Structure 1
Amino acid sequence: MRSMLLPLLMLGAFALPACTTTADDGGGGTVASSSEATPAAEAAPADQGLASVASLVEQVNIPYEQFTLDNGLRVIVHEDRKAPVAAVSVWYNVGSKDEPAGKTGFAHLFEHLMFNGSENAPGDYFEPLKEIGATDFNGTTWFDRTNYFQTVPRPALERALFLESDRMGHLLGAVTQEKLTNQIGVVQNEKRQGDNEPFGLVEYAQLEALFPEGHPYHHSTIGSMADLDKASLADVKQWFRSRYGPNNAVLVIAGDVSAAEARPLVEKYFGDIPRGPVNNPARADVPTLSAAKSEVMHDRVANTRLYRNWAVPGLLSEDMVPLDVAAGILGGLASSRLDNELVRKDQTAVRVTASLQPFHRVSLFEVTADVKPGVDPDVVARRLDAILADYIANGPTEDEVQRMVTSDVAGRIRGLEQVGGFGGKAVALAEGTLYANDPEFYRKQLLAYARVTPEDVRKAMQKWLTRPVYALRVDPGERGAYEEAAASKGSAASQRPRYYRRPQAGEKPLAPLPFVAEDQSGGGATAQQPTAKRPLPPVGAIGNLDFPEVERATLSNGIPIVYARRTAVPVTRVTLEFNAGVAADPANALGTQSLMLELLTEGTTTRNSIQIAEEQERLGAGIGTGASLDRTVVGLDALTPNLGRSLDLLADVVRNPAFDPGEVERLRAQQLTRIAQELTQPGTIAARTLPAALYGTAHPYGRSPTGTGDPDVVRRLTRDDLIRFHQAWIRPDNLTIFAVGDVPLAELVPQLEARFGNWAAPASPKGTKTFAATPPAPRSRIILVDRPQSPQSLISAGYVLPVRGTEDLLLLTSANEVLGGDFLSRINMDLRETKGWSYGSSSSVSLREDLVPYVISAPVQADKTGPAIRELMSQISGFTGANGVTATELQRVINGNTRELAGQFETSGAVLSALRSNALYRRPDNYWETIADRYRGMTAAQLDQAARKVIDPKKIVWVVVGDAAKVRPQLTGLGLPVEVIKPAAATPPAAAPAQ
């Protein structure tokens, strides 16, 4: 799979000119519209009726209008009426590369501060966003930019623009020393959380080696603990004044709004913000090492990983697209050169990647190989370098380029179904405008992909990848000393937590927003802040969700089909769902299902693993397997023009797996390595510890949800075991087909009938799951899993509730939203926003078909582990005792959950998930259309009763994954017995012969 290390840098670069026209708009600014002409891509020959890349690119168009305010704010508006939502995305032309020495991490730190309230919208920004039903809302910082984004119901657009304008033009009066101190603690815990992962320190070594001292990309975006310690209030305020003016920003509005509707609102809220100093992004040449550099690090990892890195040109270089294609062919595609040679043929590596990480001025070309445990890393390193040298010298084939480009373009088309979020149309327009001064940058990139040739790729590699390489090797072992903060930056533990106090006498609760049915109109306003200098604008009436019509059909052999039509993009998603899941794994053979599923796409009776991978790539399709606790799925994500052949491949994979003995051995080794890796990661260590403590090992839920299983079992599984499991569970009489696409159901059913209608169940009995085992009586205690050298502890706790997922649990899940199920919840606001001990903490009612657990997750800095558990105990006891849901909290739940529904189901993938969850939890087809009225009818007393009835703080089992030497002394006085254990150790798979 392709590495997705930079989720928001989704677009590459072009050397093509812009194609917009500009004219005087009569208001002192400029206005432009997108060109209606569609550039013609040079089409590659169609492959037996497959859609060509050129024809796919022709379907991609994001019409827009743009204008510039007198203060320099550039505004792009894209009208998309498919759903009653609008995305607001603000991109600031400032990132960590603009930070001077001694102030690393400031750009990211200020991103946090800009969520902590402004002069006319005091308090956390997530509060008003939740109130208006925002979805996909967040902020991110990277080397080149800082952005803030949210998708809101159309009647709440004015409120969203007000909020963004207030933190752009009216922020500094709300930035206090208390907020700064708190957010320094939060950011330092975010840093600890990333650093605490295996290979979590690699990025620092890479940046230091590839970029010389003083280079803008020499330091990481998260910054250093020491610089964060030294950040002063004067420093951060000056940082804002010098960089966050409207003339250094791009505002994109995309969705259910026209430019004519949006412009008056933008002028009203942003027009009076004065220009700031121009932030000229730091210039940065592409550095070249004077000689090849090799280093060795040690980390608490399961296997050796090899890295090869080069600094290469940035987004605006004509070599960007060829280098991206080069990386995909080398180690991004499932059929990549490295996969075929090192993983499939030599079997000396268990995972390989190659990726291009694009930035504005420079980019990183990265190659990795995870060495199979027991194999000499030097052997793999020599083979890796030989493959690289041959590839660079001779370049790719035409077929490789075509497969890579088709896969890439297909993925981008799917991403553009969203108007906002992390990768929708607003992102494409904003990124192009910010970096290339061209909103149509995305389209020129797509055309460049359609036109790239093998020779283009070869020349780019020879130009840039023949330069000295940085070679890093990370071996298992103890880490070096960790750079810690000078002291905890959280506020005093006695500080009053916010957002969950009882209202004072005479205090009014948060007012509900107005509601009317879809065919009505109306408006209203929430209560304004009494001291606001700029009043919050009213929010119009928001109607009920119009969920797509659910249609049903049945194939001739009885397989049911559940379908919803969405026409925003030419994509069809099909999920074959089997009533199995991790719970179906034999109790004495855990890991059987996972190995069986991995093998489905690694060979059928007519196709080998390489042929399956290559065919998916030519089709622009994706076939994946997976399992939740309750269901097993084989999913297809297909371009509708190629649906027929994509379904052919899906049917072959599901119905005719070969379970080739050689592939069984290869995938067995990979699964054993994954198990070993899980035992080095805090999250998966907890996932392997807590379920058994809650449910007992005899219960189907008393096992790790990863499904990788027991290494001793995986080591002894036979081909016949896998065939038997497949016949028992992956069969037509255990299957429901769920689909969402842009074709009528009447056209889809014949295609499904042709591939699955004649599928007959085997003679062997169908598998059955049993939940007869009773979980052990809850015994509250602390299980401390010793993971030395952990700068952070992961607290994972819970207990089994006396309810099932098929019951109506809406009141309970809504109550938990107040306690721990939302950013604004009591648990998160206490540990993160009040104390600064955690980057994020939560609790959940973890739905599943049978008995449901209540689960708490809180990664906290190591020196606050004991106090954090005490605070969590206090929060839960208070919530289930006298300190129940307040009127303000209730209204937040109602407002947020009713108004976010339109944005929640914007994409076909979200609709598909809803169809499946309705079936699993036995809900009616119209469930999501009726849920808003149910929220509106809730009372605080009902939520309190639902929580108090089933959540018992005295029954919670606490698992802590952390450094026992630091953590164990903190646990005394909590009143619970403490068991200290070591993570299980997995024996590595047998080594393959040296090649």
Structure 2
Amino acid sequence: MTILHRLIAPLAAVLALAAPPAWSQPDIAIPDIPYTKFVLPNGLTVLVHEDHKLPVVAVNTWYHVGSKNETPGKTGFAHLFEHLMFSGSENFNQVPYLSAMSGVGATSLNGTTSNDRTNYFQNVPTSMLDYALFAESDRMGHLLGVLDQKKLDLQRGVVQNEKRQGENQPYGLLRELLPPNLYPPGHPYSWPVIGSMKDLDAASMADVQQWFRTYYGPNNVVLVLAGDITPEVARAKVEKYYGDIPPGPPLARPQAWIAKRSGTQRGVAQDRVTQARVYRIWNVPGANTPQQPLLDLAAQVLGGGKTSRLYQRLVYKDQIATSATASNDVDEIAGVFDLTLTVRPGGDPAQVEAAAGEELNRLLRTGPDAAELQLARTVILARFARITERVGGFGGKSDLLAACMTYTGNPDCYKTYLQRIKAATPAAVHQAVKDWLSDGDYVLTIKPFGAPAATPEALDRSKGPVMGKAETLKLPPMHRATLANGLKVVLAESHSAPVVNLSLLVDSGHAADPPQQPGLTSLTLRMMEEGTTSRDAMAIARELESLGATLSTAANLDGAFVNLNTLKATLPQALAVYADVVLHPAFAGNELDRVRKEQVAAIQREKANPLTMAMRVLPTLLYGPGHPYASPASGTGTEAAVSRMTREDLAGYHRTWFRPNNATLLVVGDTTLAELTPLLERAFGGWQAGPTPAKQLAAVPPPPQSVVYLMDRPGAQQSVIYGAQLAQPVAPQDLVRQQIVNDIFGGSFSSRMNMNLREDKHWSYGVNSTIMPALGQRPYISRSPVQTDKTGEALQELAREYAGIAGGRPIDAQELKAAQDRQTLGLPGTFETAGQLSNAYANILQYKLPEDYYDTFTQTVTSLTPGEANAVAARVITPAHMVWVVVGDMSKVEGAIRALKLGEVRRIDADGKLLQ
């Protein structure tokens, strides 16, 4: 899938309207991302975009090679080689690449492979740009000298565990089933990007070396530098680091091959899922074609958000599905248009398919009308406006420039796309639908299993890369005001993009759920999106889409949030809708019945997913029944409790907790208090203060000894091991210190646990740990998906790592310095967008942290000594009082687990109940 399509495919669709909406449609300009382009004599194409709002530079490298460049029998090479590129190069081989880059503060750091390209990206502090360019150029020009069989075997194992992990998820078998059924044999898209186990096993050193020599030359690369840099500085640095790398051979490019079918082909498969799902797919033209924007608009009209035709019919009206979407998924030489229909539990897939077919046929007969097409345009244009907030990562400005340059040779190709979006007529969209969706579909039904040039001077690389230092961080100040009714307002101005983010922080959260009503917070918030006393859900969705705005609700243990992201130009109109949602939810009975069923279905999906099963039961195992924090971690509650909830339960929750004196409105973005305050007084002036109850967060002692809980999932390809305990509330300074200890233990790619189970033993695709935020005792949880046959050994290694970090293997100065660098150097890269800034300020406000918490973060981190770090680890991590949960095929792993004698072993079901 191209980045241009990734930016637009998931957007919400819109409903056909009988008449144009009463509100005016905003005139959203096509964004302009200025750039300077130059090409080195060796063929490397470089684009430079200046954005000096933060001391950060995005380094985005696109190799024009993907799985479509493979051949049958040698599949998975592109993705395998992506992993090998992280295994070290001739002059950058002291520590793993990801560890080294995260150690100098890189954020948005990763690499990905698609059908058409392999990209590597990171945002780095400006002071570390030389370091990053040295590393990127060294693996481009100097990889093969250190690429050996051991590294190949290690990364092969990591990739195979990634494949197992993907296929172990609900509906994970799609990546194997769809490609050969959508494309004919020999088509470059007829095999999965990750390849087959057989082909991965057969990959030889000679094969991967030839792959590198063929496709990884600079003449097959687009490098984008975006952020705190000038074209003059960029040219000098790029010529220094990349200029002496020789070009690769000339390359042939596969041409467009749409492979349009005729008739209907069908497939049926079973998976360990709780809900059946129907996929209906057509082969269509690829990216950067005149048909792409027309089919994108059609997809949004047909199946996107709440106002889409499919949602209206299948989810809202008939209530035979819990989700129904359409998307136009395009790649470089071909694309697919797909409907994804998730059948309600116990429902009939044929009925859902038939109803979706009727909606498609209606679109085929009449096409979209002008009003719904205009709404679709607004959604797409607003999404592109938001791209300008970010310089790097997926969907940022550098990614968009790189995609356009790689696939079209024109970095401005997105403008052509958006001009076509603006110019599209109902008749043109209708014709595209008739041309491509009237014939030639593939229908796959997934059913529940079991139960429902000149050579420049060579760079002397022996001296290694240039190292910089942590940049001083100074976030925009928080300006404060209080409305007449007592609502506290906090504003942080950010004028880099025409976007404003509002977040209402209500002091409630999952801890406010009554003991017999887990999931009440989530259901209440979800229902607040479903209509007010003056606007039904569809009116809200239509109006927000017409304004280029999005609204969402969320909750954590201690708070409930109502969020609005809108354009500055439409802030007054969007604020009126936002306030109506906050103040006047209708909790309509007909909507409640549908949403309640959807939440129950979500609970059932969680109980069938190995990565979420344990997180449903862990809170109760840690806190004990009845504690405010003891409900499932997702906040969805239990099937029995949610099924019993009434409209009065939700209305009572809203009356109790949604009070201006119990909330703070956080605003981040392109506005000022002088502009904002009158709008807020007008929107929220009628909201009245009132008393709210206090939440009782009793302290919980640790278990007297470790306990191991087993959850059986027959046939699982992996086991998922959770280790959990509770961390005590501490002062803000100690929160930072605990974060550093966790970084060393399991909170980063370079952590002890990940280096052990992924990089050393390659039993896992990735291991991590996190200290979840809370006002009371915080859950400290590690998650380790491992291959089934290594479950016992992996659990033993994890227990050893816990004992080591708690004192058996003290943190040394080198480990601490690496974690300090990762945490401080990477800090600026986490505050690019209004949403990211809002999350940071919300953290400060919710957990009562000092206002300068992030501005003083670097000083607090760098002052930590090894002795202090080890003292923190000894206080926080208690290996003898762990709660372990293992989800997997117990017929294969239970014996090995019991043999470890880590503590009492108990078998539990998906609800956490003890089994005999």
Query: So what's the TM-score if we normalise by structure 2?
Result: 0.95
Aligned to 1:628: 556
Contact 2:668 2:838 in 1 (8 A): yes
Tell me by how many angstroms 1:316 deviates: 2.4
Structure 1 residue aligned with 2:182, among 186, 198, 210?
210
2:892 partner amino acid: K
Query: So what's the TM-score if we normalise by structure 1?
Result: 0.88
Contact 2:128 2:467 in 1 (8 A): yes
Aligned to 1:980: 907
Aligned to 2:479: 551
Aligned to 1:71: 42
Secondary structure of the 2:49 match is: strand
Aligned to 1:57: 29
Secondary structure of the 1:872 match is: helix
Tell me by how many angstroms 1:411 deviates: 1.5
The answer to whether structure 1 residue 939 and structure 2 residue 865 are counterparts is yes
Q: Which runs of 5+ in 2 are unaligned?
A: 10-18, 452-458
The change in CA–CA distance for 1:581 and 1:884 in structure 2 (over 3 A counts) is same
Aligned to 2:499: 571
**1:78, 1:760 → 2: CA distance?**
49
Matches within 5 A, 1:59-458: 60-122=31-93, 123-458=95-430
Q: Which runs of 5+ in 1 are unaligned?
A: 14-44, 480-530, 987-995
Secondary structure of the 1:181 match is: helix
Bigger Cα displacement from structure 2, 424-433 vs 932-941:
932-941
Bigger Cα displacement from structure 2, 320-329 vs 386-395:
386-395
Secondary structure of the 2:381 match is: helix
Matches within 5 A, 1:946-985: 946-975=872-901, 976-984=903-911
Secondary structure of the 1:777 match is: coil
Aligned to 1:797: 723
Structure 2 residue aligned with 1:766, among 692, 701, 707?
692
Contact 1:93 1:281 in 2 (8 A): no
**2:912, 2:861 → 1: CA distance?**
47
2:905 partner amino acid: V
Deviations 1:785-838 (A, max 9, x none): 111111011111111123357673222221121111110011001100110011
Contact 1:699 1:775 in 2 (8 A): no
**2:248, 2:735 → 1: CA distance?**
51
1:80 partner amino acid: D
- RMSD of Structure 2 on Structure 1 (CA): 2.0
Secondary structure of the 1:982 match is: coil
Secondary structure of the 1:614 match is: helix
Contact 1:286 1:313 in 2 (8 A): yes
2:183 partner amino acid: F
Structure 1 residue aligned with 2:646, among 700, 714, 718?
718
1:592 partner amino acid: L
Aligned to 2:539: 611
Tell me by how many angstroms 1:47 deviates: 7.2
Contact 1:91 1:249 in 2 (8 A): yes
Tell me by how many angstroms 1:847 deviates: 2.4
**1:115, 1:478 → 2: CA distance?**
41
* Structure with greater proportional helix content: 2
**1:240, 1:782 → 2: CA distance?**
46
Contact 2:20 2:371 in 1 (8 A): no
Bigger Cα displacement from structure 2, 287-296 vs 828-837:
287-296
**2:421, 2:554 → 1: CA distance?**
31
**2:816, 2:348 → 1: CA distance?**
60
Deviations 1:422-446 (A, max 9, x none): 1111011100000011000122222
**2:460, 2:450 → 1: CA distance?**
54
The answer to whether structure 1 residue 655 and structure 2 residue 651 are counterparts is no
Aligned to 1:18: none
The answer to whether structure 1 residue 917 and structure 2 residue 843 are counterparts is yes
Matches within 5 A, 1:421-500: 421-478=393-450
Structure 1 residue aligned with 2:856, among 904, 908, 930?
930
Tell me by how many angstroms 1:903 deviates: 1.3
Tell me by how many angstroms 1:778 deviates: 4.6
1:108 partner amino acid: H
Tell me by how many angstroms 1:364 deviates: 1.5
Secondary structure of the 2:666 match is: strand
Tell me by how many angstroms 1:776 deviates: 6.1
2:907 partner amino acid: V
Structure 2 residue aligned with 1:824, among 731, 742, 750?
750
Aligned to 1:728: 656
**2:127, 2:361 → 1: CA distance?**
57
2:91 partner amino acid: N
Tell me by how many angstroms 1:958 deviates: 0.8
Deviations 1:750-804 (A, max 9, x none): 1111111331136xx5233111263563541211111111101111111112335
**1:967, 1:12 → 2: CA distance?**
44
Contact 2:278 2:443 in 1 (8 A): yes
**1:377, 1:268 → 2: CA distance?**
60
1:292 partner amino acid: T
Contact 1:12 1:445 in 2 (8 A): no
Contact 2:703 2:882 in 1 (8 A): no
Aligned to 2:665: 737
Secondary structure of the 2:120 match is: strand
2:380 partner amino acid: D
Secondary structure of the 1:56 match is: coil
Tell me by how many angstroms 1:928 deviates: 1.0
Secondary structure of the 2:466 match is: coil
The change in CA–CA distance for 1:232 and 1:347 in structure 2 (over 3 A counts) is same
Contact 1:74 1:250 in 2 (8 A): yes
Tell me by how many angstroms 1:533 deviates: 4.3
**2:470, 2:887 → 1: CA distance?**
44
Contact 2:702 2:725 in 1 (8 A): no
Secondary structure of the 1:973 match is: helix
Deviations 1:839-890 (A, max 9, x none): 1101222221110122111011111111101001111112222311122111
1:866 partner amino acid: G
The change in CA–CA distance for 1:174 and 1:885 in structure 2 (over 3 A counts) is same
**1:651, 1:665 → 2: CA distance?**
24
Structure 1 residue aligned with 2:710, among 777, 784, 790?
784
The change in CA–CA distance for 1:102 and 1:192 in structure 2 (over 3 A counts) is same
Aligned to 1:678: 606
**1:616, 1:121 → 2: CA distance?**
50
Aligned to 2:774: 848
Contact 2:8 2:380 in 1 (8 A): no
Contact 1:885 1:943 in 2 (8 A): yes
The answer to whether structure 1 residue 871 and structure 2 residue 797 are counterparts is yes
Aligned to 2:6: 10
Tell me by how many angstroms 1:539 deviates: 3.0
The change in CA–CA distance for 1:805 and 1:782 in structure 2 (over 3 A counts) is farther
The change in CA–CA distance for 1:842 and 1:782 in structure 2 (over 3 A counts) is same
Contact 1:11 1:442 in 2 (8 A): no
Tell me by how many angstroms 1:981 deviates: 2.7
Secondary structure of the 1:426 match is: helix
**1:251, 1:605 → 2: CA distance?**
53
Q: Percent identity?
A: 44
The change in CA–CA distance for 1:457 and 1:778 in structure 2 (over 3 A counts) is farther
Tell me by how many angstroms 1:721 deviates: 1.2
2:586 partner amino acid: A
Tell me by how many angstroms 1:95 deviates: 0.2
Q: Runs (4+) of structure 1 moved beyond 4 Å?
A: 5-9, 45-51, 804-807
**2:831, 2:870 → 1: CA distance?**
29
The change in CA–CA distance for 1:660 and 1:847 in structure 2 (over 3 A counts) is closer
**2:20, 2:859 → 1: CA distance?**
51
